[in-house]
Structure 1
Amino acid sequence: MTDLSPRHPLPAEPDRAEARQMLGRRRKAMIGAFVVLLVIAGGAATVAGLRNATLFFRNADEAIAERVELGDHRFRLQGRVVPASVAVDGGVTTFEVVHNCASVSVRHSVDPPDLFESPWIPVVLEGRWVAGDVVTVAGRDTHFFSSDNMLVKHTNEYVAANENRLPDPNEPPEGFLDDCPFEVPRL
């Protein structure tokens, strides 16, 4: 006759205390995994926020002076929009911004905000330098600024003298271009 009994002893069924212990360990492991996931998500959000906060901010004259150092890195460019330079072609808005007698040609690939229509409005643009022969009010240039994000600064400028009429959109803010060696085209 053949012996059919198991060669190894069968494990005993876990008692309730042992089952509770196993369930407790599983809960702790799940909570630990959830905490690790939260830490990773928080770290990713922090890195994304810091990346946005570290975008360089340059006025038009500074951006031109530091063009080599900026290279093709993204940065923020600030200046006032020259009203006569604005054109729209195939969904791309081209215009010039001026700051401290330096002019930058801009090609903006997204619809600009509504306030963009205001004459001589200050804007902050996000993008990078791109090589290309352009002509600005200040002369020829070898680069233009390719922008895909625009913030329009609301101004509180108004004219106290002759308060019954609106300022001429052809005229820049008082004293803005007084020392510049170039003339700004009129609308």
Structure 2
Amino acid sequence: MTDLSPRHPIEEASDRAAARRDMGRRRKALVGGFVLLLLIAGGAAAIAGLRNATLFFRNADEAIAERVELGERRFRLQGRVVPASVVLDGGVTAFEVVHNCASVSVRHSVDPPDLFESPWIPVVLEGRWVQGDVVTVAGRDTHFFSSDNMLIKHTNEYEAANEERLGDLDEPPEGFLDKCPFEVPRL
């Protein structure tokens, strides 16, 4: 049997008010969840940006002098590629960079950019020191730089537009190796 007794208006009003309260709580929970998701995503992006910003930069001579302090931390290494040192070996590009008469042996694990083939090109490499016996133009060393990211200083457009300013890059830049106690092999 069905209840055919009339409903009281007070009960209907309280049911509608309860339903509105429940709907309001659900909306607040959804909005709160969305805001929390945005905050987490923004925090992750900020952390990634700060991590990249804290990747510090060292010239080759500074990196060698600060090797103990740098330990196995990632950093950016800057120098000019010694053209005669470039060797491709099983997907790894081995070469040396020189700055202020200090030479660092590099093992780069990713294909270098096309412009890398330009002699004496300035590069910035991201990576870390790895212990290993190597020989550089400056002599024996106990570490090499393991790199997985390379930035080249000039684009092809820059070279084409400024060819007269770059000079003969088959030779090191004028005065670059004048005070070095070692000879750098030529191509």
1:1-187 correspondence to structure 2 within 5 Å: 15-154=15-154, 158-159=163-164, 167=168, 169=170, 171-187=171-187
SS at match of 2:116: helix
* Deviation, structure 1 residue 17: 2.5
**Structure 1 SS opposite 2:180:** coil
Give me the TM-score of the superposition, normalised by structure 1.
Answer: 0.86
Q: CA deviation at 1:152?
A: 0.6
Matches of 2:24 and 2:164 in 1, distance apart? 73
Residue 186 of structure 1: CA displacement? 1.2
- Structure 1: distance between partners of 2:28 and 2:131: 57
Count, aligned residues:
171
- Asked whether the equivalents of residues 118 and 169 of structure 2 are also in contact (C-alpha less than 8 Å), the reply is no
- Structure 2: which 5+ runs fail to align? 1-10
CA distance in 1, matches of 2:185, 2:65: 24
Report the Cα distance in structure 2 between the residues aligned to 1:125 and 1:23, rounded to whole angstroms: 56
Counterpart secondary structure, 2:79: strand
What is the letter of the counterpart of residue 142 of structure 1?
A: T
Report Cα offsets for 1:8-35 as digits up to 9, x if no partner: xxxx776222212210111011101110
Quote the offset at 1:124 in angstroms: 0.4
Q: CA RMSD in A?
A: 1.8
Alpha-carbon displacement from aligned partner over 1:98-144 (angstroms, at most 9, x marks no partner): 00000000000000001101110000000000111111011110100
For residues 78-99 of structure 1, the C-alpha deviation after alignment (integer angstroms, 9 at most, x for no partner) is 0000000001010100000000
Bigger helix share: 2
Q: Output the CA distance in 1 between the equivalents of 2:103 and 2:15.
A: 81
Structure 2 residue matching 1:40: 3-state secondary structure: helix
Q: Distance in 1 between matches of 2:110 and 2:62?
A: 24
Deviation track 1:140-164 (CA, whole Å, cap 9, x = no partner) reads: 101000001100111767546xx9x
How many Å separate the matches in 2 of 1:64 and 1:168? 26
Q: How far apart in 2 are the matches of 1:114 and 1:24?
A: 59
Identity in percent: 81
